[in-house]
Amino acid sequence: MTDAPALTTAADTPPTAARGLAGRLMRNPLGATAAAFLAVVVLASFAAPLLAPGDPAAASLKDAFADPSGAHWLGTDSAGRDILSRLLYGGRETLLGALVTLGIGLALGVPAGLWAGYRGGWFDAVADWCANLVMALPAMIVLLASRAVIGPTVWALMIVLGVLVAPAFFRLVRGIVTTVRGELYVDAARVSGLSDTRIVTRHVLIVVRGPVVITVALVAGIAIGLQAGLEFLGVGSGDTPTWGAMLNEAFKSIERAPMLLLWPGLALGLTNAALVLLAAAMRDALEDRGTPARAARTRRAPAPEPARERKDASPAVPGQRAALLSVRDLAVAYATPDGTERRVVHRVDLDVAPGEIVGLVGESGSGKTQTAFAVLGLLPAAGRIARGSILVEGRELTHAAERDYRALRGKTLAYVPQEPMSNLDPAFTVGSQLTEPLRVVLGLSRKEAATRALALLREVEIRDPKRVFDSYPHEISGGMAQRVLIAGAISCDPKLLIADEPTTALDVRVQAEILDLLRRLRDERRLGVLLVTHNLGVVADLCDRVAVMQTGRIVEVGDTARVLHTPTAPYTRKLLNAVLDDVPARAPWRPDPARSTA
Amino acid sequence: MLLFTVRRVLSGLFLLFVISFLAYLLLSVQDIDVGQQVLGMGARPDQIDAKNAQLGLDRPMPAQYFDWLGHALRGDLGTSWYTGEDINQTVSTRLPVTLSLMVGVTLVSGVVSFLAGTWAGLRQGGIVDKGIQFLGVLGYSVPGFLLTLLLVQIFAVQLKWFPAIGYTPFAESPGGWLSTITLPVIALSTGAVAGVSQQVRGAVADVLRQDYVRTLRARGLPPHRVVLEHVLRNASAPALSVLGMQFVGLIGGTVLVEQIFALPGIGSMAVTYTARGDVPAIMAVVMVSVIGVVLINLLVDLAIGWLNPKARAAA
């Protein structure tokens, strides 16, 4: 259910993403500069016969190593040839060479990638194997070996290089197409009877366009660099001026005239840098993301405002604060990419007494999880507590240092996450993940910790504790993983368990078992539990009290029976109606405008 | 793990076999008369035929290839067509030079990339992060040999801290060895650090966003412990595979760097022997570099399998 919105956006964005690319690119100063510079290089190189002040090959030994002058703006080289003319003509050779490589690479890589990704099967297997083979070949060695066969023509070598870069395009396109193939709009196109060729050209090609353009820029840089490298090594006819050949000649007289390296070096370096920067700007424009610097700023955000006496009527019971967890006037804010802050939790009051199970219900995005993370002190880097008070066993935590928080986590506060699999480290066995906190937090020896971890696994009703202890997370089931996470949460004997949708990812039968387990742990250990859920059935089954959250605010709080039988807030009534809609004997379908806006 | 290793070794050997065949096939289509080239223009036709027969060139290509393969499998890479020198001898004197570079570059770039990349991933937006991003653009945009020329210009020609050219074997003088390979190693490491450190940064940032990192912190583990044990272990697999991929590019860089510093390694062998189609020598260069790539990829795969139990099971 959480996947649904992500799926539709992923399917919606690619076709629109590429459209505004040029516009967004031009608004990025670095990207615009790079694009402008490349345009100048391309124009100047192809207009070389018009712009060049002299013949690039006209040598004149008496002018050798001349300084810049009116006749030779950039001076002359070791044979007295005009450097500016050679730069311009060299640019043309270099760019044409890169074009050849790109043409071959695209012609081979893109269609093969489209077909392999779309169709799969034997073609995919063979093409992928070939791509792997080519990628294991060091390009420079292959190019040098090729010149032994085809002679010292850089043009032919650039064709070989085109074959060598084709896997880059193949891999890219194949990867994207494989993900896109399963998506809804491609299915829809297939259902509507379009031929495969038409689907690939009309729907799939459009998705790969942006990433391919970025790769073109990067590969062009690689091609220009390798080409210059080859010419620097002396592979080439020697008559045509190229940037690499100019560097080669300059290097020979490095002691006498080191400045000769400057111009071809600059031309090569700046052109390549412009290509890389352009690629980076295009990637940013495609992803349309903020810079990481902004996220860092929030870390030095101002301290939260202190809790204030409130004049408006509070939906929570005012006055006395619970002994275990007491939250007052809590606000959580997130930094947004444009530099402002957005509050996702407003003025939340919440109490959990020892041995009490309190439900925190609301739809996705209502701020339940953010409230839970704020209590644990585990908000993501961009989030912060903007104001309010969090008391745990009477201790104020909103200003607490990370070190003080750490002393509470495990021993006082514990956390059971929603998605069992992603919350276990795939690289470590279950046993090692259970014993590590026991050894670090409680200072147990390796053996004591192992004994205790096995006891914990038995306590959460795992039938074969030894096997699970030795397993890696991918070797156990989701329900088993959730039990392991509960075992981990209670391992250091906490007082308050914060469980974030602990049953949502599990099937119905396992859900009931996990809820029974939580109830038993509460009874045996007098645990206080803050149960974050969107499921009113779970609340009715388990919770003593319940707080209802909507768009970051608590709209109703009270004993579970009272709230479920005589709700006062309209939102609670709506949630209850939604549950009734879900009972097996369905009422006739009717549109619910309020639901679709939420 | 044993099965995993065996499968990787077998697939590496198969790759070597296919590449050797393709390389031999491509090299044998050159339409020059080798015998004539070796003996010069003045040679009589019967001398040329005798030379070609002596080199085995009068036989069909598959026979030539399997003859070469049979010798290569017994560790005999043959003799140069043009100079008559023993290729085994040539490779064994040149390989230590290139290996010095490769080991140096792998160590330097590996250590620097992991430290800087981890630091940048933990302190995103900080000074090290910005430095890495700048180096990333620089490393990708400026061709390695251009940077090498700059280093030579500054540190060898102007400052004269290091020799501009030449190589001293380690056995002869460890100090001399160090001073002759320092600049080449720096030149080659810059590009590798630029690529790998960004990947390490990205991998660390990705792992930090994982749910299990939050859950481990919620259990009361100190952040440095979570980073050292869990984040680095999970982040090093993607970082290692990039290091492996960089290695292929590094071989190309070595060719240029050996040429610039006049180091007598495999890279300069590639330049020298490909000018004339000296097939035994070229085959040796191709095989040595592809064996290097296959070995590095094998090591990376094994390291990833060791780090990531899921990859081990999937393979």
pLDDT in tens, A361-371: 988 878 888 89
The model's confidence at residue A312, banded by pLDDT at 50, 70 and 90, is very low
Residues B143 and B66 in one domain: no
Quick one: what percent of chain A has pLDDT higher than 70? Answer: 81
B285 part of a folded domain? no
Range of the domain at B192: 95-276
Same domain, B107 and B64: no
Do residues B172 and B241 make contact, with C-beta atoms less than 8 angstroms apart? no
The verdict on B181 and B254 lying in the same domain is yes
Q: Give me the CATH number covering residue B123.
A: 1.10.3720.10
B39-59 exposure pattern, b = at least 16 Cβ within 10 A, e = fewer: beeebeeeebeebbeebebee
Check whether residue B110 and residue B229 sit in a common domain: yes
- Look at residues B70, B86, B114 and tell me which one is the last residue of a structural domain: B70
Q: Which amino acid type is present at position A234?
A: G
With cut-offs at 50, 70 and 90, classify the pLDDT of residue A162. very high
Query: Which range among A45-59, A549-563, B199-213 shows the weakest confidence by mean pLDDT?
Result: A45-59
Task: Look at residue A28 and tell me whether its pLDDT is greater than 50.
Answer: yes
Write down the residue that tokens 């020298």 correspond to. B272
Average pLDDT, chain A: 79
> Does B219 contact A at CB distance below 8 Å?
yes
Nearest residue, CB atoms, B310 vs list A135, A251, A426: A426
Look at residue A310 and tell me whether its pLDDT is greater than 70. Answer: no
Which of A226, A482, A213, A191 lies closest to B252, judged by CA?
A226
How high is the pLDDT of residue B18?
Answer: 92
Tell me whether residue B144 is in a domain: yes
Q: What is the pLDDT of residue A112?
A: 92
Q: What pLDDT does residue A403 have?
A: 82
Is B101 found in the same domain as B64?
no
Inform me whether the pLDDT recorded for A546 exceeds 90.
yes
Q: Evaluate whether residue B233 is within a structural domain.
A: yes
- CA-CA distance, A383 to A404, in Å (whole number)? 19
DSSP state letter for A305: B
Residue B153 covered by a domain? yes
User: CA of A594 to nearest chain B CA: how many angstroms apart?
Assistant: 33
Residue A415 pLDDT > 80, yes or no? yes
- Helix, strand, or coil here: A546? strand
Nearest to B157 among A255, A406, A413 (CB): A255
- Inform me whether the pLDDT recorded for A192 exceeds 90: no
Could you tell me if B62 and B174 lie in one domain?
Answer: no
**pLDDT > 90 fraction of chain A, expressed in percent and rounded:** 13
Residues B156 and B260 in one domain: yes
Domains and CATH numbers, chain A: 91-242+268-287 (1.10.3720.10), 325-577 (3.40.50.300)
pLDDT given for residue A184 in this prediction? 62
Q: What is the pLDDT of residue A531?
A: 92
Whether B157 sits inside 8 A of A277 (CB atoms) is: no
- Closest to A226 in 3D by CA, of A97, A340, A408: A97
Confidence check: pLDDT of A302 > 50: no
10-residue mean pLDDT profile of chain B (315 residues): values are 83 90 84 74 79 80 88 87 86 90 89 89 84 80 81 83 82 84 88 85 85 88 84 84 81 88 89 84 90 88 81 58
Per-residue CA distances from A14 to A170, A175, A177, A180, A207 (Å): 19, 14, 12, 10, 5
Q: Tally the domains of chain B.
A: 2
Cα-based distances in Å from B112 to B125, B131, B195:
19, 13, 12
Residues B38, B118 within the same domain: no
CA distance A545 to A533: 13
Give me the DSSP letters along B126-181: SHHHHHHHHHHHHHHHS-HHHHHHHHIIIIIIIS-SS-SS----TTT-HHHHHHHH
- In terms of Cβ atoms closer than 10 Å to its own Cβ (0-12, 13-18, 19+), residue A463 is exposed
CB A314 within 8 A of CB A349: yes
Query: How far is CA A286 from each of CA A13, A180, A208, A214, A282, rounded to the nearest angstrom?
Result: 10, 17, 12, 10, 6
Residue B59 lies in a domain: yes
Q: What is the DSSP string of A51-117?
A: H-SS-TT---GGGTTPPS-SSSTT-B-TT--BHHHHHHHHHHHHHHHHHHHHHHHHHHHHHHHHHHH
Residue B215 shares a structural domain with residue B269: yes
pLDDT of A492-538, one tens digit each?
888 999 998 888 777 788 788 888 888 988 898 889 999 998 888 88
Q: Is B124 on the interface with A (CB under 8 A)?
A: yes
For residues B124 and B272, membership in a common domain is answered with yes
What's the pLDDT at B315?
46
Q: A331 has which bridge partners?
A: A387
Using the predicted structure, report yes or no on whether residue A104 has a pLDDT greater than 90: yes
Q: Quick check: is B143 in a domain?
A: yes
d(CA B277, CA B160): 38
Statement to judge: residues B139 and B43 lie in one domain = no
- Does residue A153 surpass a pLDDT of 50? yes
**Residue A543: pLDDT band by 50, 70, 90 thresholds?**
very high
Residue of A147, A268, A413 lying closest to B146 (CB–CB): A268
**Chain B residue with the nearest C-alpha to that of A374:** B218
What is the pLDDT averaged over residues A317-334? 81
Whether residues B140 and A221 touch (CB distance < 8 A) is answered with yes
Q: How far apart are CA B55 and CA A310, in angstroms?
A: 98
Cβ-based contacts of B293 with chain A (< 8 Å): 136-138
- CB contact residues (below 8 A), chain A span 256-285, against chain B: 258, 261, 265, 268-269, 272-277, 280
A438, two tokens: 């026991």
Which range of A43-47, A298-302, A558-562 scores highest in mean pLDDT? It is: A558-562
Check whether residue B51 and residue B192 sit in a common domain. Answer: no
The answer to whether residue A318 scores a pLDDT higher than 70 is no
At A384, is the secondary structure helix, strand, or coil?
strand
Predicted local distance difference test score (pLDDT) of residue A72: 63
Q: Is the pLDDT of residue A83 over 50?
A: yes
Distance CA B202, CA B234 (A): 12
Residue B162 lies in a domain: yes
Residue B287 lies in a domain: no
Tens-digit pLDDT profile for residues A242-281: 888 888 888 877 777 777 778 888 888 888 888 888 887 8
C-beta atoms of B146 and A488 within 8 A = no
